[in-house]
Structure 1
């Protein structure tokens, strides 16, 4: 069964590129997406997903708010943050919210793909 991914990304070009990459490289299925905090929380509560890929800066609210809403989640569900602002302080805040990983969009996509590939093999 393909990995079911929920994207939380406000930039349409990045969102489309991420979806294409995830589907082509991993054979994953992007089940839904949202561009704001409230929309993401509502849609993620209704959708079946294995992994949420969350941007920090959204059109409304923040990715940290999304992560906070899913601190308690299913045992098989993972939340990863993708950001151009993966600073040490942001990484600390993410760790405090039980985020499973934070990746810089510009330099760490290969590490993200590696982590997602490992999840598929579980």
Structure 2
């Protein structure tokens, strides 16, 4: 199975390290870069020598917002899956994230298993960027 080159945008060092360990151990994921703020993430993702399969974004960041990352990292030039992982996954926020190009929105408290399952399906080619199922 393909391992997903993944970029993680999360401002909490504790959550970031825990998430990296969990995803790399339980899912087909290799985290190739991280950011804790919007501008760092946007700049990194804009570089053509940084291809990734999956971008995981939190909404609330040290500076800026995950919504800004979604705006910048979505479009015809990008071929990665784009998901949100947040404690603030309300219905309104889910709708906004999907409007801005997120493929899926996961709740940090309840959906880690669902995120790992999604990564497995993505790596196996069972779903693709832009598919909401």
Note if 1:59 corresponds to 2:62: yes
Structure 2 residues not aligned, in runs of 5+: 126-133
TM value normalised by structure 1: 0.95
1:1-122 correspondence runs (5 A): 1-46=2-47, 47-74=50-77, 76-122=79-125
Task: Name the SS for the 2:62 alignment partner.
Answer: coil
Count of aligned pairs between the two proteins: 122
Cα separation, 2, equivalents of 1:121 and 1:74: 23
Task: Name the SS for the 1:39 alignment partner.
Answer: helix
Q: Which protein is richer in helix relative to its size?
A: 1
Once the two structures are TM-superposed, the CA of residue 75 in structure 1 deviates from its matched residue by 6.3
TM value normalised by structure 2: 0.87
Cα separation, 2, equivalents of 1:78 and 1:19: 17
Which range moves more in the overlay, 89-98 or 4-13? 89-98
